[in-house]
């Protein structure tokens, strides 16, 4: 079993992408820290092993868990049907929505206002999938082709390794907007003068709700341990404490 193997090697290996405050980011001493690292530490403690954190590109987390290189993927990762084909997810521990970051003087209140703009995203994220779908067309639940709201507007998607790098290009004027989850967006705006962020809503008022889970290899008995720890941390108010601890990230 996965749990026995982790206990035998004495180490729980967490894969993450530390560009996503407050869930994971680099400390002043370049150590990966954040809410997800605190949760992973609690899982390691429950198993009685050391925690090892591997900081990789976001889009290589799921493949690394699938191949068994890592034991858990914890990265503010949204549970999606596509990812559930590759890995199993724990119970969810946080919710989010997408946000749009723009220069302070730009009027953007809905996705449709991104028409004709260059939009930066982090490769492999739900924001990436959403913007690509609005520019190139998407599929509805039945698999029918649906037109995207930015299709035919000259809107362009630019992929980056992180939202932090996308933000540098936003500040340089190379792109017009960045789409990323709410809390990292708020952190980016708090740390960079001249930017603001708004909820990503559609003209019809709809928005994208997402829930974060920790991923493990398909069929792994680790899921039970992770779920137990998440429940304990929620019941004791610890997850809220972790959020407060990292609120200046
Ligand atoms: N919630 C989004 C997703 O699952 C973005 C996660 C990005 N996480 C990170 N650590 N960079 O796609």
Q: Ligand 1 center to residue 142 CA distance, Å? A: 26
Structure tokens at 61: 């987390």
User: For position 59, what pLDDT does the model report?
Assistant: 98
Q: Ligand 1 center to residue 162 CA distance, Å? A: 9
Up-side HSE of residue 59: CA atoms within 13 Å toward CB? 13
Q: Ligand 1 center to residue 229 CA distance, Å? A: 21
75 lines ligand 1 (CB under 6 A): yes
pTM: 0.96
Atom 12 in ligand 1: which residue has the minimum CA distance? 125
| Right CATH for 2-93+213-245 from 3.40.190.10, 3.90.1150.10, 3.40.50.300, 3.90.226.10 | 3.40.190.10
Q: Which long-range contacts (CB under 8 A, 24 or more apart) does 45-48 make?
A: 46/225, 46/228, 46/229, 47/3, 47/6, 47/7, 47/12, 47/225, 48/7
Give residue limits of the domains in the chain: 2-93+213-245, 97-208
User: For position 232, what pLDDT does the model report?
Assistant: 98
| Dihedral sign, Cα of residue 34, residue 36, residue 39, residue 41 | negative
| Residue to mutate (ligand 1; options 21, 76, 164; most atoms within 8 A of CB) | 76
Mapped onto helix, strand or coil, the DSSP state of residue 248 is coil
CB 207, CB 111: distance < 8 Å: no
DSSP letters, 147-171, are: --TTTTTT-EEEEES-HHHHHHHHH
pLDDT(17) > 90: yes
76 lines ligand 1 (CB under 6 A): yes
- Give pLDDT tens digits for 124-181: 999 999 999 999 999 988 889 999 999 999 999 999 999 999 999 999 999 999 999 9
Q: Judging by DSSP bridges, how do beta strands 138-139 and 88-89 pair with one another?
A: unpaired
User: For position 221, what pLDDT does the model report?
Assistant: 97
Q: Residue 93: exposed, middle, or buried by beta-carbon count in 10 A (0-12, 13-18, 19+)?
A: buried
- Give pLDDT tens digits for 190-208: 999 999 999 999 999 999 8
- Give pLDDT tens digits for 214-227: 999 999 999 999 99
Supply the ipTM of this predicted assembly: 0.98
pLDDT confidence tier of residue 94, bands split at 50, 70 and 90: very high
187 lines ligand 1 (CB under 6 A): no
Which of 19, 18, 246 has its CA nearest to residue 120? 19
| Residue to mutate (ligand 1; options 178, 181, 187; most atoms within 8 A of CB) | 181
21/36 Cα distance (integer angstroms):
10
What is the architecture, at CATH level 2, of domain 97-208? 3-Layer(aba) Sandwich (3.40)
User: For position 207, what pLDDT does the model report?
Assistant: 92
181 lines ligand 1 (CB under 6 A): yes
28/77 Cα distance (integer angstroms):
24
167 lines ligand 1 (CB under 6 A): no
Which of 24, 81, 80 has its CA nearest to residue 57? 24
- Give pLDDT tens digits for 20-72: 999 999 999 999 999 999 999 999 999 999 999 999 999 999 999 999 999 99
């Amino acid at each position: 079993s996965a749990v026995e193997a982790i206990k035998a090697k004495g180490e729980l290996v967490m894969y993450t992408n530390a560009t996503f405050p407050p869930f994971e980011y680099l400390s002043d001493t370049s150590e990966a820290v954040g809410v997800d690292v605190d949760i992973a530490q609690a899982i390691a403690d429950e198993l009685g092993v050391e925690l090892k954190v591997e900081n990789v590109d976001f889009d290589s987390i799921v493949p690394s868990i699938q191949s068994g290189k890592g034991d858990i993927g914890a990265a503010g990762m949204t549970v999606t049907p596509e990812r559930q084909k590759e890995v199993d997810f724990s119970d969810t521990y946080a919710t989010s929505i997408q946000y749009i970051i723009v220069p302070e003087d730009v009027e953007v209140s809905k996705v449709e206002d991104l028409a004709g703009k260059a939009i930066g995203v982090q490769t492999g994220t739900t924001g990436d999938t959403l913007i690509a779908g609005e520019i190139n067309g998407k599929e509805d639940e039945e698999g029918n082709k649906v037109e995207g709201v930015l299709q035919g507007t000259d809107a362009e998607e630019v992929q980056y390794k992180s939202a932090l790098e996308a933000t540098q290009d936003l500040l340089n004027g190379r792109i017009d907007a960045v789409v990323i989850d709410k809390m990292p967006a708020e952190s980016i705006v708090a740390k960079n003068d001249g930017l603001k962020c708004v909820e990503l809503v559609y003209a019809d008022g709809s928005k994208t709700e997402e829930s974060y889970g920790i991923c493990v290899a398909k069929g792994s008995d680790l899921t039970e341990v992770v779920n137990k720890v998440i429940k304990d941390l929620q019941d004791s108010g610890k997850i809220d404490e972790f959020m407060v601890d990292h609120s200046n990230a």
